[in-house]
Structure 1
Amino acid sequence: MLNEVAGIKIPDTILARNAQDILREHGGDLLWNHSNRAFLFGAITGKRANKKFDLELLYISALFHDLGLTKEYSSPDLRFEVDGANAARSFLLHYQVPEESIRLVWDAVALHTTVGIAEHKESEVSLLNSGVSLDVVGKGFEQFPVDLIEEIIKAFPRNNFKQDMIPAFYEGFKHKPETTYGNMNSDVIKFFEPNYKQKNYCELLLHSPWKD
């Protein structure tokens, strides 16, 4: 494991190393490289903006943020983001991490796909969201230093990330498509199952039990 990439020191604590082992065991190269890139993009963004944040908590959040897509941590009925957040909370409770730190990590993982909200939360939450957004859809790509992007990609290669990530999402929640209602993950279900009937908010409102 590298000690430093693009001017960011990779946390080398017991927490960080054990979280790395969990992701390595269950996430494979795809999630491993993506999670580390998301962390580095987020940390660099925070550093450039002079934000105060806990580097270790941001790293733990990044390592757990997609763990809910894996068979080991996927529940039958919760959003994959919540599965990852719950896994992170259980992990941190085992090490008697302070409650406030656990809450920050839970929020960062649970909200990392929630556009329009995560960016207004605490630094650890907003930076994970920005790091993930940059790595997945290229949000902020044009403003990010090219030399740092190249260094990060060299350390944690993309390896056809665009082609592989959508199927990885689908495998993570195809058994519970109803959990994608109201969030961007519904696009993944529609990509693979164009005939799937997703809930419609207006229909739910109009067919509610109220008599008015």
Structure 2
Amino acid sequence: MDFTLELPTGPLAEAVLTTVRETETLPVANHSVRTFFFAEILAAREGCLTDAAYDRELLFAATVLHDLGTGTLAKGAARFEVEGADLAAELLRRHQVPEADVDRVWEAIALHTSPGIAERRGLLSYLTREGVGIDFGRRADVAEEHQAAIHHAYPRLTMVRSLVDAIVERAARSDAAAPRYALPGELLRERAADGVTGLELAAASCPWGE
């Protein structure tokens, strides 16, 4: 794959970008776009671009919308991953995306914080979770060649803190948004107990910075 910073085009891709830019903080929106690039780089490295299950437009939708549950559209009525998946599904349906593909995107978003599960639920879920992980510094070697250009175009802007702020704020709105042992519930409890979360502390060792 010849790497490029060009994003997918067309009505669906434009709606995805517009929604994220209008409803998420800039650090979270940039994280979401970087996740797409990192997932695509991983797909190329692992020879997945010619896989029948690979769909660049769906990958763009799943990765860029994966934190939609942290934005202004989210009401905090469910954990942010599920609420974001529901919101993403609504957007895709408005653009006449086939229901089977809507379901794949929903699953990829809902499971992106579920290690050991997302990786076994098909290529889209796997790439979405791994793309997120690379932006947090896991498997950093995958992106080393292109990360500088990606970060120049979409800077981090203290992404981890901004993302945790958004997750915790919505988790505090209802018990359903902060179930015990789920990521949003644990972040909410860590913030309340210690004033800082393990995710934020771990950012200090991320090769890309916070």
- The reply to whether TM is greater than 0.5 is yes
Q: Report the residue type matching 1:103 in the other structure.
A: D
Q: Which residue of 2 aligns with 1:205?
A: none
| 1:78-126 deviation line (CA, Å, top 9, x unaligned) | 1111111111111111122111111110001111111111011211111
Q: 2:160 aligns with which of 157, 162, 178?
A: 162
Equivalent-residue separation in structure 2 for 1:164 and 1:9 (angstroms): 26
Equivalent-residue separation in structure 1 for 2:105 and 2:99 (angstroms): 10
Equivalent-residue separation in structure 1 for 2:82 and 2:160 (angstroms): 23
- Which consecutive aligned stretches of 4+ in structure 1 deviate over 4 angstroms post-superposition? none
Aligned positions of 1:117-132 closer than 5 A: 117-132=117-132
Equivalent-residue separation in structure 1 for 2:161 and 2:83 (angstroms): 24
The alpha carbon displacement at 1:156 in A equals: 0.6
- Residue 17, structure 1, aligned to residue 14, structure 2: yes
Contact conserved, 1:16 with 1:59, CA < 8 A, in 2?
yes
Contact conserved, 1:6 with 1:152, CA < 8 A, in 2?
no
Structure 2 spans left out of the alignment, 5+ residues: 195-210
- Residue 49, structure 1, aligned to residue 46, structure 2: yes
Equivalent-residue separation in structure 2 for 1:82 and 1:192 (angstroms): 21
Q: Report the residue type matching 1:94 in the other structure.
A: R
Aligned positions of 1:60-71 closer than 5 A: 60-71=61-72
| 1:20-39 deviation line (CA, Å, top 9, x unaligned) | 11111111311210000111
TM-score calculated relative to the size of structure 1: 0.82
TM-score calculated relative to the size of structure 2: 0.82
Contact conserved, 1:177 with 1:189, CA < 8 A, in 2?
no
> What percentage of residue pairs aligned between the two structures are identical?
29
Equivalent-residue separation in structure 1 for 2:133 and 2:174 (angstroms): 24
The residue matched to 1:72 in structure 2 has which SS? coil
Q: CA RMSD in A?
A: 1.9
Contact conserved, 1:74 with 1:80, CA < 8 A, in 2?
no
Greater Cα radius of gyration, structure 1 or 2: 1
Q: Report the residue type matching 2:56 in the other structure.
A: L
| 1:51-73 deviation line (CA, Å, top 9, x unaligned) | 12111101111222111112322
Equivalent-residue separation in structure 1 for 2:36 and 2:151 (angstroms): 12
Q: Which residue of 2 aligns with 1:113?
A: 113
